[in-house]
């Protein structure tokens, strides 16, 4: 039977680039899997049911909540999102390391209910950098920039509850910022694989054979 996989939750403020970082990790390391969540939001153009998300209606989401089918779930921007227990169990039992790229509430739930979960928070390098990025888009009003910065402040205040902090540097300062952040996430995953607890069965077997 394969060793059980490990669970990693990744969060960070909108626009910090966490999806791109996770995508890069998955591209480079097929040994890491991403959980597909359920959501009540409508699919965006190009999104595929069962790949991007499992798109479900409110009634189905209600039934899944009633059946206690979710490992965690949360309201995010007027919609509901949740990770199925069945998905987590199947992946971990198959020995795969699994990333959940979910909102802050979901990460905090996962870390509170299971102390083997590793929490990774992705931060912008500074307030100035984030503000400049929002202004650079040219699509945001002063009011919406203020609202977004307030949301980021609230989210970054929860970062103390995570195990690891990744700073996603600005690519104009550091052109390989995305690769660096993805390497750091993978280094965390690999370090978790190398813990004593993860290698006890192997060590027991090695020591048994050495004594024989
Ligand atoms: P989007 O609708 O842009 O794909 O995602 C909106 C937000 O929902 C993102 O912050 C994303 O990380 C979060 N999210 C996606 N899936 C889940 C999930 O299963 N659980 C929770 N708690 N948040 C999720």
- As a whole number, mean pLDDT of residues 23-37 equals 96
Enumerate domains of the chain plus CATH numbers.
7-35+96-211 (3.40.50.300)
Q: Report the chain's mean pLDDT, rounded to a whole number.
A: 94
Least confident of 8-12, 99-103, 147-151, 153-157: 147-151
pLDDT for residue 28 is more than 70: yes
pLDDT bucket at 75, cuts 50 / 70 / 90: very high
Give me the pLDDT at residue 141, please.
86
Atom of ligand 1 nearest to the CA of 38: 19
Atom of ligand 1 nearest to the CA of 19: 12
Residue 35 is given by DSSP the state P
Does 101 sit in the ligand 1 pocket, CB within 6 Å?
Answer: yes
pTM for the model stands at: 0.93
Q: What does 161-211 look like in DSSP terms, one character per residue?
A: GSSEEEE---TTT-TTHHHHHHHHHHHHHHHHHTSHHHHHHHHHHHHHHHH
């Amino acid at each position: 039977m394969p060793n059980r996989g490990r669970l990693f939750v990744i969060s960070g403020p909108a626009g910090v680039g966490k999806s791109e970082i996770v995508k890069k990790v998955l591209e480079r390391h097929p040994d890491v899997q991403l959980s597909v969540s359920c959501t009540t939001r409508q699919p965006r153009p190009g999104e595929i049911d069962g790949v991007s998300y499992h798109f479900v209606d409110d009634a189905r989401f209600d039934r899944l909540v009633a059946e206690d089918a979710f490992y965690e779930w949360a309201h995010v921007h007027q919609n509901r999102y949740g990770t199925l227990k069945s998905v987590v169990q199947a992946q971990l039992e198959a020995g795969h390391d699994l990333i959940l790229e979910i909102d802050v509430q979901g990460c905090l739930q996962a870390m509170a209910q299971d102390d083997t979960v590793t929490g990774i928070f992705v931060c912008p390098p500074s307030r100035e950098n984030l503000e400049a990025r929002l202004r650079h888009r040219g699509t945001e009003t002063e009011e919406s920039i203020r609202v977004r910065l307030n949301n980021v402040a609230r989210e970054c205040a929860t970062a103390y509850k995570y195990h690891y902090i990744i700073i996603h540097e600005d690519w104009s300062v550091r052109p390989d910022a995305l690769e660096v952040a993805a390497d750091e996430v993978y280094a965390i995953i690999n370090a978790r694989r190398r813990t004593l607890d993860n290698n006890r069965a192997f060590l027991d077997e090695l020591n048994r054979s050495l004594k024989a």
